[in-house]
Structure 1
Amino acid sequence: MKDQKLGINTICTHVGEIKDEQFKGAISPLYMSSSYAYEGVDVKRYPRYFNTPNQEALNKKVAMLEKCEAGLIFGSGMAAVSTTLLAFLNKGDHVVVQKTIYGGAYNFIVEEFPKFGIEFSFTQGFSEADFDSEIKDNTKVIYVETPSNPLMLITDLEMISRISKDRGLVSMIDNTFASPINQTPSDFGIDIMLHSATKYMGGHSDICAGAVAASEEHIKKIWNVGKNLGGSLSDYTVWLLERSMKTMAIRVKAQNRNAKKMAKWLESHAMVTKVYYPGLKSHPDYELAKKQMRGFSGMLSFELNSDIDANQFMQSLQLVKQSMSLAGIESTILSPTKTSHALLSADERAHQGIADGLLRFSVGIENKNDLIADFEQAFEKVAKKQLV
């Protein structure tokens, strides 16, 4: 069978699996060794070089899912992001960064890049003019994230690709919130795809990992920096991640359906001021999202009425967990001002449109009626406390 002809569930299940030649088991065997022979072998394997048997196999799955030539698995999403940016930026270089990105990536750029003599600019908006106006003679990279965290704003990938190619720049995207199930940016000409594989790829809130997919030429540059920085992943976690990714398409599609239903329900609720979900027709980027996404993600955000205590509401939830991360099969909720964007100042959060009453909701695979019932009882509790 030709790999490029395979369906998404088949890719998730079979591409990159290791055949158990000894015992004929149905799943990939796990090779835990941290030391391999160097004489008389085709590949000199070393865990920090991203080339142990399980690492190599999973790299192939990541590449196939993103429709790229090659991939690399890292110890965390930030290891993938930091290594990739440093692979293409040197002292005196400049990077244009989308206005709203993950707080950890933002913090890495503003705190670490000045130490390396790397310049950076954040766009004022998401239009072509916003990106074009920030490009300088020493610009080397454009970095975007779509949908964005936590406001689910959409960046035009065809536009980013065109600008990058016209100027000879490398385009990078954090594709975590969409996952390769909902969006493959390489279809639009984006050069490098980045993921916190902790999220939809792992999907069970028990793995910390990162991933990069790109051309073989670009991956070689990232690998060269990665082996020096040491952000590789243990083989046991690699094996667990490969297992988890087998069901990624099934999980993500179920989360897409639940999220769209919850977004519509929340939009009509009297205690909710605004819902941010690209699958809603009320979303300003709805048409663009339809153009470049196959599904609208299991992530959404919403703002409560100003007279509602966000913490009281979250603490009143019984089924939905108040938790730090996202994209697990269980639904979770958090306040970005206290978690993902806590490292930003109040002014920086305000500039990105992140209000204190904003809540990020990672929708799981539970029955939607159970989720609605949990939200209803939480709203009722908060309403009663207001009357006291």
Structure 2
Amino acid sequence: MEENLSQETLCVHAGGELAGDAQSVVTPVFPASSYKYRQTTENTYPRYFNTINQKVIIEKLCALEGGQDGLIFSSGMAAISTTLFSLLQPGDHVVFCKGLYGGTYHLISSEFEKRGIRYSFAPDNTSEAFLQVITSQTKVIYIETPSNPLLEVLDIQAISLLAKKHQIVTVIDNTFASPINQNPISFGFDIVIHSGTKYLGGHSDLCFGAVVTSAALTKQIYEGAINYGGSLNALDCYLIERSLKTLAIRMEKHNENALMLANFLQGLPEVQRVYFPGLRSHPGHEIAKSQMRGFGGMLSFELATNDLKQVDIFLDSLQFIQPAMSLGGVESLICSPATTSHVKLSPQEREEAGIKDGLLRLSVGIENAQDLIKDLKKAFINLSTSVHV
């Protein structure tokens, strides 16, 4: 594929050359679980992550992220767990940013001790805080930015420089930003992970994960991946490739709508705080401007109440914005992190992470922004009425 192409063009065309001499303008679907082996140098098998439908996706993601190679997995957590367990051995140490996705936190707290892997959380999200917890056994630094659900922004380049100085592999969950808005490899990070279930799939109908990195690190992760077995079938791969073709244009609308809704929410008396890196009031706004092309479609806001019954009244009053799990789809979704993504954390752990009961995470879709604002206004009116009854 020609260099210096735009993200929009890469979304549509990257990886297409792998279809061989097929005359169709889309990649043919090869659902086979059995392939002939005598005339090839590589045994093809879905669990080996080397079918055409799998490879096309990786080629496209590598073009978008600036990586050399990667792997596609059956879920975001499969991508995260396979990557970490392929890089870490008993006795190794890993440093995590605070405010991790709840599923990642649960993986760490429930599985690492069994495997003899030690870990620390940086006391805050500055590179200086990461330096405080690095040890001679630290092999990996793992971060999310923007984080889930408080949209905290970490300085990718500063953490990368710190890690390189100490010869530590860096891993980032880039799900919230997407490769359209942020490319951590260009800032020195080694491994980029996506929960493709979100923006890469984009239509709330696919579950998958992806890893993009160097050829050498892909080989290391691959050795674990074929044992853990988190591969993906050809029909899902076909839908993923189709979804990726519209990623750039979808993200443009997500970015635009989220900024409009964040500005609307921060002016309301019913809202205590809005978390969105595109707002000038966000403490990470300047860093986000320096490393992101767009601020994404995710925002969170705290209602001026921590009464879960009042939270339910607000959610029940919404018409177009649907209370549902996950994020990144074309439709707007909202959830209470305290009762969904972070429900596995204890109340004390949620409090330490800044997850209040009145916090709501909003995945802004591609609908008309004014219709979404009207929907929110109605919910706030119903909430205010219930409070004063």
Normalised by the size of structure 2, how large is the TM-score? Answer: 0.98
2:247 maps to amino acid: M
Distance between the aligned counterparts of 1:254 and 1:178, measured in 2? 13
- Are 2:10 and 1:21 equivalent residues in the alignment? no
How much is the aligned-residue C-alpha RMSD, in angstroms? 1.1
Distance between the aligned counterparts of 1:385 and 1:306, measured in 2? 12
Is this contact kept in 2: 1:20–1:29, CA < 8 A? no
Q: Which runs of 5+ in 2 are unaligned?
A: none
Structure 1, residues 103-154: CA drift from partner, whole Å, max 9, x if none? Answer: 0001001100101000000111011221001111111000000000000000
1:122 maps to amino acid: F
Distance between the aligned counterparts of 1:19 and 1:104, measured in 2? 36
- Are 2:258 and 1:259 equivalent residues in the alignment? yes
Q: Secondary structure at the match of 1:380?
A: helix
Q: CA deviation at 1:310?
A: 1.2
Is this contact kept in 2: 1:55–1:238, CA < 8 A? yes
Residue matched to 1:247: 246
Residue matched to 2:283: 284
Q: CA deviation at 1:307?
A: 6.7
Percent identity between matched residues is 49
Structure 1, residues 257-279: CA drift from partner, whole Å, max 9, x if none? Answer: 00000000000011000000000
1:300 maps to amino acid: L
Q: Structure 1 segments of 4 or more deviating over 3 A?
A: 18-22
Residue matched to 1:141: 140
1:377 maps to amino acid: K
2:21 maps to amino acid: E
Normalised by the size of structure 1, how large is the TM-score? Answer: 0.98
- Are 2:18 and 1:41 equivalent residues in the alignment? no
Aligned residues: 386
Q: Secondary structure at the match of 2:212?
A: strand
- Are 2:240 and 1:232 equivalent residues in the alignment? no
Q: Secondary structure at the match of 1:141?
A: strand
Distance between the aligned counterparts of 2:70 and 2:140, measured in 1? 19
Residue matched to 2:328: 327
Q: CA deviation at 1:20?
A: 6.8
Distance between the aligned counterparts of 1:57 and 1:328, measured in 2? 22
- Are 2:104 and 1:105 equivalent residues in the alignment? yes
Distance between the aligned counterparts of 2:223 and 2:103, measured in 1? 23
Q: Secondary structure at the match of 1:158?
A: helix
2:211 maps to amino acid: V
Q: 1:307 to 1:340 in 2, by over 3 A?
A: closer
1:15-164 alignment, distance < 5 Å: 15-17=14-16, 18-19=18-19, 21-22=21-22, 24-164=23-163
Q: Secondary structure at the match of 1:133?
A: helix
Distance between the aligned counterparts of 2:191 and 2:19, measured in 1? 29
Residue matched to 2:181: 182
Is this contact kept in 1: 2:19–2:52, CA < 8 A? no
Distance between the aligned counterparts of 1:181 and 1:9, measured in 2? 9
Residue matched to 1:213: 212
Distance between the aligned counterparts of 1:192 and 1:86, measured in 2? 14
Q: Which shifted more, 246-255 or 42-51?
A: 42-51
Q: Which runs of 5+ in 1 are unaligned?
A: none
